Structure 1
Amino acid sequence: MRIPLMSIPRFGFGIKGLDEMLSGGLIEGTVSSIIGAYGTGKTNFAQYYIWQGLIQGQSALYITLEERTSRILGYMENKGWDVSQYLDSTFTIVNLDPSDFNLAINSVKNELPTLIKKTGAHRVVIDPVSLFEDLFHDDATRRREMMRFLESLRDLNCTSLLISEADKTNTFASKYNLIEYLSDTVILLKYARGEDVNDVHLAIEVVKMRMSQHSREVKPFEIHQDSVTVYTEATVF
């Protein structure tokens, strides 16, 4: 029997404004991506996504391709979150070295599905998926392998969030202009400048969301030491 869309479980970020834009959160079992240039807070949002799951009793898996475990834990603890109580039980952090092509490809394609099954992870973050995309030397191979990889995530009954660098010349697109087409939901983080070029703000947009209604407005947001605020009542100039 087909489940009504409104009754499908959702995985929120615990960020009121953002969850509101997503009609409650990411849809269970989907693959979503956050795209943004440096300094827009991509990893911040990913860590909120992980933390929200942990405090709700869900298992979480954080795959990092460029940060050490100690730094990930440090960032989260600086927000006032006691993540140590979840380590080795419902929270697992895995470091992958993308410098070794064969090892990295093997780890992501073969070992990651096994790890997700073993940990029973409800929420999975890959930060950044751009480094995995870098491993493929031509567009055709990259598209084929990424399609297979995302389908394997959907088959594992987890709700995944992929962090992607924005293209250097077009900050509205991912580095390879690919992940946004393959993902079920796409969240774009960007800079917004007013008439005064020195007045720089951060803005968020839910570019697409399959199987659900979502806000199509661009909203300003701020990152504080212990919180993120999305101003859904405000407008971006």
Structure 2
Amino acid sequence: MTTTRLKTGIPGLDKMTGGGFLKGDTTLVTGPPGTGKTTFGLQFLMHGVLESQSGVFVTVEETPEKIANDALNFGWDLRKLEAEGRLRLYQLRSEMLQSGGAPIMQCLDVINSVKAERVVIDPISLYSMNVHDPNDLRRELYAFVNYMKENGLTLLLTHEVPDIMSRTSKISDYGLEFIVDSIIMLQYVEIESAISRSINVLKMRGSSHDMAIRRYRISGKGIEIEAPFEGYEGIMSGTARKSGAEAFMEAFRR
């Protein structure tokens, strides 16, 4: 059976993921504040627009106006694309989250209105904080993800980890890691008293993927993935140290 791949629009990520995201899959992008999760989602949608694939960006935290203004820093005119019917910004407001029911399912009307092929929800972690019953939350997310999959829509969820230098592999308290098809982790890494950013693909169901932990940067064009960390270990702990061989060679050179 052939599978359709969607290019991500993030330089270096398609190679890491074996050619891009699988059409109809759900990807979770997790990381602490400031690691570029929102930028990641917008970049994925923008590339879809270039490929004639309409998209919807669902914001749970910021207003659509703030998202649109911030996107201009990367040269992405979201309001123009909205006017052309190629993209929609939609906000799940606090009163909707507190009204009970399954407000995430209300996004479907917007998604269907533009015949979206790519959907981003940013951040799903804030949405989960407003659904007090974990069982209700799991049912809502399962139903939403299943709808996406059944209709061939590719979904990207962002999830905020509260700790800046996180040392835990736990993704969420409600089993989100088991619902999604792929997990991409963004982290801060301390190396010799300086902070770098790292990205790695933790999980990609039904596809081989790069296991390396790579550097990335956020430029005026968005996220750009760079070379793997070499000569260091403990990257995922947040505090990297030189590997045994590298430390030995450095001592030898002295």
**Which TM-score applies when normalising by structure 2?**
0.82
In terms of Rg, which structure is larger? 2
Partner of 1:91: 87
Moved more, 54-63 or 67-76: 67-76
Tell me the alpha carbon deviations over residues 64-117 of structure 1, each in whole angstroms, 9 at most, x when there is no partner: 0111111111122111233343213111100111344454744312x2223222
| Matched residues, number | 229
Q: CA, structure 1 residues 171+13, in 2 after alignment: closer, same or farther (shift >3 Å)?
A: farther
Moved more, 111-120 or 205-214: 111-120
SS state at 1:16 partner = coil
Q: CA, structure 1 residues 31+234, in 2 after alignment: closer, same or farther (shift >3 Å)?
A: same
Partner of 1:81: 76
Partner of 1:181: 178
Within a 5 Å distance, the mapping from 1:215-226 to structure 2 comes to 215-226=210-221
CA apart distance, 1:133: 1.4
> Structure 1 residue 147 and structure 2 residue 172: aligned?
no
The percent of aligned pairs where both chains have the same amino acid is 28
Any unmatched runs of 5+ in structure 1? none
Separation in structure 1 between the aligned mates of residue 179 and residue 143 of structure 2, nearest angstrom = 10
Q: Select which of 148, 152, 159 maps to 1:157.
A: 152
> Structure 1 residue 201 and structure 2 residue 192: aligned?
no
Separation in structure 2 between the aligned mates of residue 233 and residue 221 of structure 1, nearest angstrom = 9
Note if contact 1:223-1:229 (Cα within 8 Å) is conserved in structure 2. yes
Q: Select which of 163, 166, 170 maps to 2:161.
A: 166
Note if contact 1:63-1:95 (Cα within 8 Å) is conserved in structure 2. yes
Separation in structure 2 between the aligned mates of residue 116 and residue 90 of structure 1, nearest angstrom = 11
Q: Which 4+ stretches in 1 moved above 4 angstroms?
A: none
Separation in structure 2 between the aligned mates of residue 209 and residue 141 of structure 1, nearest angstrom = 26
SS state at 1:201 partner = strand
Note if contact 2:212-2:228 (Cα within 8 Å) is conserved in structure 1. no
CA apart distance, 1:206: 0.4
**Which TM-score applies when normalising by structure 1?**
0.88
Q: CA, structure 1 residues 232+145, in 2 after alignment: closer, same or farther (shift >3 Å)?
A: same
Any unmatched runs of 5+ in structure 2? 233-254
